[in-house]
Amino acid sequence: MIPVAFDYQRVSSVDEALGLLATHGDEAKLLAGGHSLLPLMKLRLAVPSVLVDVGRLHDLSYVRDAGDHVAIGALTRHRDLETSELLAAQVPILAHVAGQVGDPQVRHRGTIGGSLAHGDPASDLPAVVLALGGTLVARGPGGERTIEARSFFEGFLQTALGPDELLTEIRVPKATIVGAAAVRNGTTGVALVNMGSTPLRASATEAALAAGASIGDAAAVAAEGTEPSGDLNASPDFRRHLATVLVRRALEEAAS
């Protein structure tokens, strides 16, 4: 419950943050809302020697209309997504899901960038960005690059971000349909939470839908190809069962 001693640096620009990351390498950790990182540090499961606090980079907190997509600053708090009128109009599923995260305290601290960079398969926002077919923008010593959400999540708590990179923006296509885990955007994207070591697309369901299957039939294969783990909350079998039920409900909601 008491973290290992660490240095703390609060930065006022992205460049400053990148400079510190370059100096300290993987000894350093970015601190955004702290709601995933600090619990791990208190359990001494994460032991960074330098914390680079990017929490006050207010210019990375925004939700903007960028034509075909909506651009979201990585430091945007869950609460700001939840209450964003732009998201409500253009990407309602993201606003809806942000409003489901934890409790008000968590939503006022946690950031979308932190949630994605943490790469927890049990988190909500990564799955939504994945289902939406979003794009992530990162800056590192070599400049800026974009990463498709599809190839961002590499393993349990592992992402495509390098230790010297900072996530600056998340871009999500406009998609006007609300649904718990499904999004329609010409095609239908379905992503699953907690069904493997990363957030996953329910590819069998997506393929079935593309081939014209009914919602019921498409949902029935939602767990295909997944390898959920078991814990006190649910066994792998139960998770597979839940995936079919919840995907069906989400598709029905999206279709109605």
Partner 1 sequence: MSILGNRVVRKEDPKFLTSGGTYVDDLKIDGAARVTYVRSTSAHARIRSVDIDEARSAPGVLAVVTAADIELDPLPLEMPMLNEKMPQPWLATDVVRYVGEPVVAIVSETQAEGADAAELIFIDYEPLPVLVDTEGALEGSIVLHPEAGTNVSFELQFGRDESLFDGCEVVVRRRVNNQRVAPCPLEVRAVAARWEDDGRLTQWSSTQAPHSVRDALAKAYGLFEDEVHVISPDVGGGFGAKIGGYPDELLIAWLARRVGRPLKWTETRSESMVALGHGRAQLQDIEIGGSRDGTIGAYRLTVLQDSGAYPRVGALLSFMTRTMASGTYRIPKVDFNSRSVVTNTTPVVSYRGAGRPEATAAIERAVDLFAAEIGMDPAEVRRRNLVPPDAFPFTTPLGTTYDVGDYGRALELALEASGYADLRKEQARRREAGEVRQLGIGLSAYVEITNGVPGSEFAAVEVRENGTAVVRTGTSPHGQGHVTSWAMLVSDALGIPIDSIEVVHGDTDVVPRGVGTFGSRSLQVGGVAAHQAAGQVVDKARQLAAKLLEADPADVVLDKVGQRFHVAGTPAVAKSWGELAREASSEPGGLSAETDFTPPGATFPFGCHVAVVEVDTETGKVTIERLVAVDDAGRILNPLVAEGQIQGGLAQGAAQALLEQVAYDDDGNPLTANLADYTFVSAAEVPSFETTSMETPTPVNELGAKGIGESGTIGSTPAVQNAVVDALSHLGVRHVDMPATPERVWQAIAAAR
Contact footprint for partner 1 (CB under 8 A)? 1-2, 4-5, 39, 43-44, 103, 231-235, 238, 241-242, 245-246
- Three-state DSSP state, 36: coil
Residue 123 contacts ligand FAD per CB under 6 A: yes
Selection from ligand FAD, partner 1, none that 207 binds (CB < 5 to 8 A by kind) is: none
Q: Name which of 209 and 228 has its Cβ closer to ligand FAD.
A: 228
On whether the CB atoms of residues 187 and 137 are closer than 8 A, the answer is no
Question: Which residues are CB-neighbours of 34 under 8 A, at least 6 positions away?
Answer: 55, 109, 114
C-alpha pair distances (Å), 243 with each of 192, 204, 212:
7, 12, 20
Cβ-based burial of 170 (10 A; exposed 0-12, middle 13-18, buried ≥19): buried
Closest approach of Cβ 204 to partner 1, in Å?
20
Q: Tell me, residue by residue from 60 to 99, as one string, x for binding to ligand FAD by CB under 6 A and - for no binding.
A: --------------x-------------------------
Q: Name which of 11 and 41 has its Cβ closer to partner 1.
A: 41
Residue 174: name the closest of 161, 186, 160, 165 by CA.
186
Q: Would you state the structure tokens that stand for residue 106, as one six-digit string?
A: 């968590």
C-alpha pair distances (Å), 68 with each of 122, 134, 183:
29, 12, 16
Q: Looking only at residues 144 through 173 of this chain, which bind ligand FAD when binding is defined by CB under 6 A?
A: 161, 166-167
Selection from partner 1, ligand FAD, none that 88 binds (CB < 5 to 8 A by kind) is: none
Selection from partner 1, ligand FAD, none that 114 binds (CB < 5 to 8 A by kind) is: ligand FAD
Rounded CA separation 156/71 (Å) = 26
Rounded CA separation 204/147 (Å) = 24
Selection from ligand FAD, partner 1, none that 149 binds (CB < 5 to 8 A by kind) is: none
Total residues contacting ligand FAD by CB under 6 A comes to: 29
Computed on alpha carbons and rounded to an integer, the radius of gyration of the chain in Å comes to 18
On whether the CB atoms of residues 91 and 175 are closer than 8 A, the answer is yes
Residue 200 contacts ligand FAD per CB under 6 A: no
Beta bridge partners of 69: 66, 173
Q: Looking only at residues 31 through 50 of this chain, which bind ligand FAD when binding is defined by CB under 6 A?
A: 31-37, 39
> Of residues 29, 171, 239, 248, which one binds ligand FAD by CB under 6 A?
29
Closest approach of Cβ 243 to partner 1, in Å?
11
Closest approach of Cβ 210 to partner 1, in Å?
25
Q: Where does this chain bind ligand FAD (CB under 6 A)?
A: 29-37, 39, 54, 74, 101-102, 106, 109-111, 113-115, 117-118, 123-125, 161, 166-167
